[in-house]
Structure 1
């Protein structure tokens, strides 16, 4: 149980916060580990959805752009041996058997949204060989293929919601195009999938017989635990906390735009990636140590100051993605755990 008030946390330094976390004096508002239990009904196929899944499903119905929640990834690989497609299919089948979320689709039963876990352990997989193309054309072809995969429209009802497309570009050289719908995956899931796919494929390649998928916890077990958490009123406590915390916020960031806002929300946008050189990273680390903070805190503060200069607002709220896997039980479960937390910063005139 927490015995430290939120207002008191603001004045604590980083090392003090770490000490309190180790001593478990800061309350953990996530679902307790003991609440996540293995479903004991092997015939059960329909499960509740989580709050995060419901939000994505609702926006997916509202938005005209059905590809907005695609999670595409392109990886170029130089391999020692040529890929054995038969073993690739076996590895994908094994993963689909092991992780229920890879066999999940979404359906309305009456007025309730549910996720359905199929028995059909087939992972959608394609392969193309473009080694015959001139080198000058291969890059354009791969870029076109990657763009097409990134623009894939998913059907949440009929599925599938995960795809793998392997393109051979040269001898021992391949491009892996992997796509998930966000409703079944987050960044952690993508990394976990790649790790397990490589491990399983190499195991099969070495002649080892991949053991039967263990009865691990599934994302559907987490969904059942969250549903119980809601029923017990714990979710409402979280809502009340955030309603109080954000009760006096200013609302939308008031920044002048060069074009009028659309009458209906759309998905037009882009991503900007910045790469910092070694010298900058060293100075960033020095600054963080000086203020007993993390590098993330320093960059976040700089971003808040920039938004303050553009808007004139002193209160800046930024949504930060949070892995939401602070329990060992969730570390190896594929599915959408990620959540976005609002961080409220106050820029002082001084």
Structure 2
């Protein structure tokens, strides 16, 4: 049974593994010791994982299909330092190569292209000019429109962040990511890391998050 569990855990992506270990830590448990995924060489093309390759082929059949968007909305209440929020978001982008990844073809084969740096703008939309009774409906309309905007896998970025302001202390934070760089678990991890970093930065502290030992590209090469 342990061998089977170990295989299943080893097959998790780095983002999935991070959330899994976080859940165990919250319960006072420790993840089993597993064979680690090695870091990839500094040079050479990075192939797609099996899951990424499937989504890449689907995108070739139906370019810019918003069905492959992963939407997420987070309600925020209370005073908000938007500059610190944007800084927190970009620290997460720095930490996770997959959020800086686009896709190209080399010798007719799809590969991952990882940008060394990426500054992701936090789009801000102020809805306070709308009547109070109409703001929530307008926010839902804006969110739906945002989530339906397609991505270009070649040009990227494949993550967007939008902040809707409904009142002085009421906000709706929207994340839209293409499924080729994310899944349900890593979306949750993104939100949790942004929240953790915001709490630290707004208090004048450094990031409490450790550097990641492996990245999704390491996982993709290991899976191959």
Cα deviation per residue 1:161-200 (whole Å; 9 max; x = unaligned)?
0111011101211011111100000000110000000000
Where structure 2 has 5 or more consecutive residues not aligned to the other structure, the ranges are 13-33
Q: Where does residue 70 of structure 1 map in the other structure? A: 69
The two structures have a TM-score, normalised by structure 1, of 0.54
Cα deviation per residue 1:69-105 (whole Å; 9 max; x = unaligned)?
00111222222x2x21221221122111111001000
Q: Distance in 1 between matches of 2:216 and 2:106?
A: 20
8 Å CA contact 1:71–1:180 kept in 2: the answer is yes
Q: Where does residue 197 of structure 1 map in the other structure? A: 194
Residues 25 and 164 of structure 1: is their aligned pair in 2 closer, same or farther, counting only changes over 3 Å? closer
Residues 45 and 150 of structure 1: is their aligned pair in 2 closer, same or farther, counting only changes over 3 Å? farther
The two structures have a TM-score, normalised by structure 2, of 0.82
Query: Shift in Å at residue 131 of structure 1?
Result: 1.6
Point out which structure has higher relative CO (alpha carbons under 8 A, 6+ apart).
2
Give runs of aligned pairs for residues 103-252 of structure 1, distance below 5 A: 103-210=100-207, 214-227=211-224
8 Å CA contact 2:86–2:121 kept in 1: the answer is no
8 Å CA contact 1:127–1:167 kept in 2: the answer is yes
Q: Distance in 2 between matches of 1:164 and 1:117?
A: 19
Q: Distance in 1 between matches of 2:81 and 2:54?
A: 40
- Please provide the CA RMSD for this pair: 2.3
Q: Which runs of 4+ in 1 moved over 4 A?
A: 29-33
Residues 113 and 40 of structure 1: is their aligned pair in 2 closer, same or farther, counting only changes over 3 Å? closer
1:105 partner SS? strand
Q: Where does residue 50 of structure 2 map in the other structure? A: 51
1:165 partner SS? strand
Cα deviation per residue 1:110-138 (whole Å; 9 max; x = unaligned)?
11110010012212420122122111221
Query: Shift in Å at residue 40 of structure 1?
Result: 4.8
Higher radius of gyration, 1 or 2: 1
Residues 182 and 25 of structure 1: is their aligned pair in 2 closer, same or farther, counting only changes over 3 Å? closer
Residues 222 and 210 of structure 1: is their aligned pair in 2 closer, same or farther, counting only changes over 3 Å? same
Residues 109 and 148 of structure 1: is their aligned pair in 2 closer, same or farther, counting only changes over 3 Å? same
8 Å CA contact 1:94–1:213 kept in 2: the answer is no
Cα deviation per residue 1:302-333 (whole Å; 9 max; x = unaligned)?
xxxxxxxxxxxxxxxxxxxxxxxxxxxxxxxx
Q: Where does residue 28 of structure 1 map in the other structure? A: 7
Question: How many residues are treated as equivalent by the alignment?
Answer: 202
Where structure 1 has 5 or more consecutive residues not aligned to the other structure, the ranges are 1-20, 228-350
